[in-house]
Structure 1
C-alpha cells in the first residue's frame, strides 16, 4: 500500500486554541454520519434500501471540511462524504427519503444516494463518472472571482478518480486562472479493489501539486482536528489571496467500495492496523482524556443524534412509494421557461453568416452582463473563425476567456458558473472536438435539471460540417450524437437571419443548447439582417419554399442543396427548414406531409442513425394515411469524412439526392 507507514502511527490531536464548545460541536458532527451508517447497514440487510456506499473510517475528512467552511461556501462531495450532507444540516427525513427513492428526496426518486445537489445548502452532488465535478468547482470559483466575493469552494475526489483526465483538467484550469478552490483527494488506498500502486506510479499526491503550479498539503485524514484546522486556515488565506490548493487526506476505507463488493481483496493485517486509527473512536477517547467529554455529555449527544435519525427514518418510511406521472417526468427534463419572441426592427444591413453570429453574440453580451464566453483562442485572436474578434476590447478578458485545450473542464466550468447565476457560452474550436467534453454534455448539462432541479444555462457553439476539404476530424456532422439525449436543445440555422435570432434565443433560455454553425456557410452567404437585437422562436420550423409536388425536410447546408436541386430540376417542392432539431416541430412536418404526400429527408450527416431516420420513422407511424409514396431519405456515406475534394464530393449526398428526388417526383 502507498500509505501503509502512516497506518502504524497513532493519531496525535492538537486542539490549538479551539475552545471546548468547538471541540464538542465537531464531536456531535462526527458521530452523526457514523450512527447513520450503523443504521443504514442494518436497513440494507433488511432490504429497506438498495445500495450503500460506506464512508466508515473516512468521516473525519468530511466533518473537518464542512465545519471549517462558511455555510454559504459550496462543497462538492462524493460517495463517502455523508458528513458533508449531515454537517450542512440537511433535513434527515429528506436525506433518508433520497436513499429510499421517495418523492420528497432531493431527486424525486430519479437518482440515488448522494447523486444530488441543493443550492439551499450550497452542495453540488456527483455523478457516477467521478471526475467532472472538479471543473464544476472551478466554475463556482470563477464566479466568486468575477463577483469579487471572498469565498472558497471545496471539491472532493478519490485516489482512483485521479486517473481520469478530468482530474488533470480541473486542476490545470484552477491553477491557470488562480481560482479559490480547495481540491481534497481522499487517498484511501483503493479504487474499488485496485490498490494505489496499480493506479499510479507516485506515492503521494503532494508530488503532483508543484507540476500544476499549486501548493499541495498532506494531512492525516483520520485526524478530524488536523483536517479542520488545515482547511480552516487555508480557506481564510484563499479568501484574501485567491488560488487553488491540493490537499491530500491519507485515510482508509474500512468497508467495501459498496457493500456488495466486500473487502476480501484487502490484507487482513492492513484492516487490523487501520482499525486502530478509527477517526470516531480516537477523537472520542481524546476528548475524554482532556476532560472535554464526560460520560454524561457523551450519552446525551449520542441519544440526541440517534433520536434525530430514528425520527427522520420514521417520516421517510411513512411516505408512500412514488406514483409515476409521465407528464411530470417529461416536464422536468427542461428548466421552466416561456420564450417571449422579440421581433426584429426595420433597420437591416447586409451580413454574412459569420457576421450575424458575431453580431448576435455581441448584443447578447450587452444585454446580459452575467454572460461569460469561453473557448480556445477566442480572446485577442478572436477565435479561429474570428467570431469574437474585438470582443476583448469591448468586454474585457474576464468575460471573454481564452482557455487551455480542455473541452471537458471548460464545459464543466460553464455549468459551475450557471450554478452561481451566470450564463456561459463555450465555443468548440471545431464541433469534432466536442468528443473530449461529451460526458459533461450528456451526463451533466443534459440531466442536471431532471435530477435535482438545477438549470444549466450553457450554450455550446459548434462550427460543423464538410465541404471545405478539412478531412475526418474537422468536418464531421455530429448533431445526431446529442439528438438522442433528453435535456438538451439543439439548433442548426441555415441562414444569417436565423443564425442571429436563434443564437440570441438560445442564450436567453436557461437550458443547455448545442448551437451548430456550418463552417462552409460562414463567409459564402449573406442576407439583410436586422441590426437590433431580436430572437427567433425555438422549436419552430420555417417553410423556405412552397410547392405542391413533394416535400423536402432538411436543415443546415441541406437547405441550400434542396433549393439548388429543386430549382435546377424545376421541381415544385415544399422545402421545410427544421432550424431546431431538439425539440423538433412535429406540427410543421405533419402539415407538409398532408400537403404533398411525398416526402424526402435530406441531411449532411451520415445516413445510418441520423436525425432523418427518426423523423422518417415518425412520419411513417403517424402520417401513413397521408402518404402517396414511400418516405425517402438521403445523407452522406457511412464512412468518415475524406480529405480529398473528389472523395469528399462523393461522400456528401447532393448528387445522390438529385437522383433520388427524381425518383420520388415520378412515383
Structure 2
C-alpha cells in the first residue's frame, strides 16, 4: 500500500492515525460486549474505517454527511462523545432517538450528520435536497453521502444520482464496495466491471480509489470537495474495501471464502498506516501502546457511564406528541373582500402567495416550470420566481420527495407536486418512512407539502383516478387535508405550507374547473383539524369530504325535507372528533360518505370511533356509503356505477328506515 503524504506535516498524519485507531478500539470493545450479552446487535465496520475517517476529515465541519450503519468513524471523527453514542445504541433516553430507533438511524444538526433508515438508498435523495439548499443560498458547500455496493441496485440510487447530475448539485456519492450485500456477492448484484462505471450513464465524473488507504481517501475527497464547492457538480467515488466481520455479528461469515479474508487482512487500513508512520519516524511502538491505553481507558469509562444512563420511559402522551414537530397554528383570518374563483385558481393563488411570503419555499414537480404543470396550476410561476424555485424534475417521485426533506433539513420549505396522486406509489417509502418518522426518531422537522391531484369523475381509469388517502391516514406523523371548496383549497394550502410538519394535500381533479365559488382575497389560513358544518338537521348526519361533499349537497338540495346535518371534515389527520360527536348526539343516525373504496377506506376508522365513543347516542348502526371494492374503470357508465354517489340515496333510505 502506497501512502502519499503530499504536503501534510507530521502532526496532521499523527492525528489521522489516532482518528483511525479510536473507532477500531471502540469496535473491539463492542464485540466483547456482544459476546458477554451486554449488547444485542452490532454492525461492524472493522477493515473499512479508513473510508469513514478519511472522508469525514476531508469535509468542513459544517457540511452535511449522510453515513450508513458501518460508519462509526464518521461519528467519532465529528467528535460525538462515545457516551452519547453508546446511549443511542442501548436505547437510553439520553440517546439521539430517546430509545426509538437503533444504531446509526438518527440525525443530529449539531454535528451535521443525517443517519440512514433501514431501506439503505433513500438518504441519497436527502443529500440532493441538502445540497440544493446550499446552491440556492449560493453557499460554497459540499455534501457527502454514503451507500453500499448492494444499494446501488436500488431505484433510489439511480434517481438521486440522476437528479444531482441534472441539477449540478455538489454531492459526493461515496460507494463502499465491500464485496457483499449481507451474503450476496457483488457478482450477483451487478454485471458492470466496476461500480464507478455507472457514472458514465449519468454524465458525471467517477473515481475509483483504495478505500483502505486513508491518505488516498482523504486526499481524493478533500480535492473533490474543494472543486465542487467552487464548481457545483456531483461526483461518484467507489471505495474498494472489504467487510472483515458479518453483515451483523449474528449473520456470521461462512459464505465468504477464507482466501478473501487472507487477502484483505494484508490490506488492513490501520496496521498498514501504522507501519507507514513508524517507518517514517512519525510514530513509535511505545506511542502506539500509550494511545491504546489512553483510548481504552476512556472507552471503558464512557461505556459504563452510558450503561448507567436512564432507560426510556413509556408514556403514550409524550410518544404521540413527539410524532409531530411542536407547532401551534395561528389562524390568519380572511378579509371581507371576495372574488369568484375556480377551485384550480384558488390553489394557484395560494401557492403564489406562499412563494411571496416564504423566499425559502421551493416548488418541485414534473412539468411545473414553463409548462405550468399538467393542470396549469403553476402557469407563469417561472416568470415571477425563476426556475431555481419552480423546478422541473426528472420522473423520479422518490428522489424528489426525499430532496424535499433534504431541503427542509437545510432550512428550506418544499412543496412537491405529484402529477397524479396515483403516482405517489413510487415515492411511498420516502413519505411513510422518512417524512412521517423523522421528528419522532430524532426531533427534526419535515417541512414538506405533497400536493396530490386525486379522484375520479373524468374517465381517467385505474391509474389516474384513485382515491388513496387511506394509504396515509393510518401513518402517524403525517397530516392529511382534503378541501372541497375553493376558499378552503386556498386557506388549507397556505396553512399546510406554514406548518413545519409533513402535510399531504389532496386536491380533487374533477373540481379544478367545474367548481367556482367566492374566495377571500389576500393571505389567510384555514384551521387544520377543524371540520365545518354545512347543513343542520335532526334526522341524520352525513360525514364526508372532498367530492363527497358535493354529492351530499346535491342530495339535500333534491330532498329539501330530509332534515340532515352535513359535516365536511376538510382534514383527515387530525380529524375533528368534537364536531362529529356533537352531530351524533343531535341526530342519532350517521352516514359516512367517501369516494374511496368501502373496505378499509377512511370511513371505517370514523365508524369504529363513533361506535366506540358514541354508542349510547346512536339510534341505528353507523352506515357507510363508498365506492365499489374494485379498481376504477375508465368507461363513464362503469365509473358512474363504481362511485359511491350511485348508492347514496339507497343507503340513506336504509339508514332512515332502521
The Cα of 1:315 is off from its aligned counterpart by 1.4
Q: Secondary structure at the match of 1:574?
A: strand
| 2:186 is aligned with 1:196 | yes
Structure 2: tracts of 5 or more residues without a match:
none
CA distance in 1, matches of 2:226, 2:286: 35
Deviations 1:358-380 (A, max 9, x none): 00110011011110000000000
Kindly indicate whether the alpha-carbon contact (under 8 Å) linking 1:551 and 1:599 is maintained by their aligned counterparts in 2.
Answer: yes
The Cα of 1:662 is off from its aligned counterpart by 1.2
Of 14, 34, 54 in structure 2, the residue corresponding to residue 64 of structure 1 is 54
Kindly indicate whether the alpha-carbon contact (under 8 Å) linking 1:48 and 1:100 is maintained by their aligned counterparts in 2.
Answer: no
| 2:219 is aligned with 1:229 | yes
The Cα of 1:296 is off from its aligned counterpart by 3.1
- State how 1:391-406 maps to structure 2 within 5 Å: 391-406=381-396
Kindly indicate whether the alpha-carbon contact (under 8 Å) linking 1:187 and 1:249 is maintained by their aligned counterparts in 2.
Answer: yes
Of 169, 172, 183 in structure 2, the residue corresponding to residue 179 of structure 1 is 169
Alignment match, 2:622: 631
Alignment match, 1:315: 305
Deviations 1:486-518 (A, max 9, x none): 000000000001000000000000000000000
CA distance in 1, matches of 2:635, 2:228: 54
CA distance in 1, matches of 2:314, 2:621: 38
The Cα of 1:307 is off from its aligned counterpart by 2.4
CA distance in 1, matches of 2:202, 2:239: 19
CA distance in 2, matches of 1:663, 1:413: 49
| 2:620 is aligned with 1:642 | no
Q: Secondary structure at the match of 1:157?
A: strand
Kindly indicate whether the alpha-carbon contact (under 8 Å) linking 2:94 and 2:310 is maintained by their aligned counterparts in 1.
Answer: no
Q: Secondary structure at the match of 2:296?
A: helix
- State how 1:464-475 maps to structure 2 within 5 Å: 464-475=454-465
Deviations 1:622-648 (A, max 9, x none): 100000111100111010000111000
Alignment match, 1:593: 584
CA distance in 2, matches of 1:486, 1:320: 26
TM-score, normalised with respect to structure 1: 0.98
Of 489, 509, 533 in structure 1, the residue corresponding to residue 479 of structure 2 is 489
CA distance in 2, matches of 1:581, 1:47: 46
Q: Secondary structure at the match of 1:523?
A: helix
CA distance in 2, matches of 1:308, 1:149: 38
Alignment match, 2:500: 510
Q: Secondary structure at the match of 2:341?
A: strand
CA distance in 2, matches of 1:563, 1:42: 69
Deviations 1:290-324 (A, max 9, x none): 11111232223222322221221121011132221
Alignment match, 1:251: 241
Alignment match, 1:85: 75
The Cα of 1:565 is off from its aligned counterpart by 1.4
CA distance in 1, matches of 2:35, 2:574: 44
Deviations 1:181-204 (A, max 9, x none): 000000111111000010001121
Q: Secondary structure at the match of 1:208?
A: helix
Alignment match, 1:542: 532
- State how 1:7-156 maps to structure 2 within 5 Å: 11-156=1-146
Deviations 1:534-592 (A, max 9, x none): 00111001001111110000000000001111222331110000000001111111111
TM-score, normalised with respect to structure 2: 0.99
| 2:373 is aligned with 1:376 | no
Of 283, 291, 294 in structure 1, the residue corresponding to residue 284 of structure 2 is 294
- State how 1:245-284 maps to structure 2 within 5 Å: 245-284=235-274
Alignment match, 1:602: 593
The Cα of 1:618 is off from its aligned counterpart by 0.5
**Aligned residues: CA RMSD:** 0.8
Kindly indicate whether the alpha-carbon contact (under 8 Å) linking 1:223 and 1:283 is maintained by their aligned counterparts in 2.
Answer: yes
Q: Secondary structure at the match of 2:113?
A: coil
CA distance in 2, matches of 1:73, 1:304: 30
CA distance in 2, matches of 1:111, 1:365: 36
The Cα of 1:447 is off from its aligned counterpart by 0.1
CA distance in 2, matches of 1:557, 1:530: 21
Alignment match, 1:558: 548
| 2:294 is aligned with 1:304 | yes
Of 385, 409, 424 in structure 2, the residue corresponding to residue 434 of structure 1 is 424
User: More displaced, 290-299 or 329-338?
Assistant: 290-299
Kindly indicate whether the alpha-carbon contact (under 8 Å) linking 2:50 and 2:211 is maintained by their aligned counterparts in 1.
Answer: yes
Structure 1: tracts of 5 or more residues without a match:
1-10
